[in-house]
Amino acid sequence: MKTKHTFFYALLSLLCFSLMSSTCSSDDDDNMPNSSVQDAVMVSQSGTWKISSFIDSGQNETNHFTGYTFTFEDNGDLTATNGSNTLTGSWSITNSNSNVDSNDDMDFNIFFPVDESSAFEDLNDDWDISSYNENTINLIDVSGGNGGTDTLTFTRL
């Protein structure tokens, strides 16, 4: 009986060690630096951006935003301008995960008050942040309706 318990505890210890090692790993499989919502906000606010890629359910629609620059203001305003046209919307980054230090569900929220015929209406969403750094913000959204996947990439100018 004592041998069974010893074997069981040894196996349990090995399993716990294995789980702890994988959850405490410094590897960053999600392509995001170990950071928080605050870090993503600071990166977004630090400069002017352009849309370098916008794929809407498999269709490349990047050209709809050619010439526009985007500024993410600290007051939540989002400005898109191409020199002759300026649109003002809003933006935020939120974490809908209960663990506020987790990158698992950081959402990049964009809203432009435009009608459905505007290309900017396609940007209105709560995008998932797939990765970001000082020069690039990669966003993704899987549509609940048709199951299409949209990707949006902002690149710093």
Assigned domain for 62 exists:
yes
Identify the burial level of 51 via C-beta atoms within 10 angstroms of its C-beta, where 0-12 means exposed, 13-18 middle and 19 or more buried.
Answer: buried
Range of the domain at 79: 35-156
Q: Are strands 149-156 and 136-142 parallel, antiparallel or unpaired?
A: antiparallel
Assigned domain for 47 exists:
yes
Name the strand (E) or helix (H) holding 32.
Answer: none
Average pLDDT, the chain: 80
Condensed to tens digits (0 to 9), the pLDDT of residues 17-62 reads 333 333 333 333 344 444 589 999 999 999 999 999 999 989 999 9
Location of structure tokens 């009986």 = 1
pTM: 0.74
Please give the Cα distance from 104 to 152 (Å, whole number): 18
Assigned domain for 11 exists:
no
Residues paired with 111 in a beta bridge: 90
Assigned domain for 2 exists:
no
Assigned domain for 8 exists:
no
pLDDT of residue 32: 45
Cβ–Cβ contacts within 10 Å for residue 135, how many? 12
Give the chain's domain count.
1
Q: Which of 109, 37, 39, 44 is nearest to 74 (CA)?
A: 44
CATH number of the domain that residue 90 is part of: 2.40.128.270
Q: Which one is predicted more confidently, 10 or 146?
A: 146
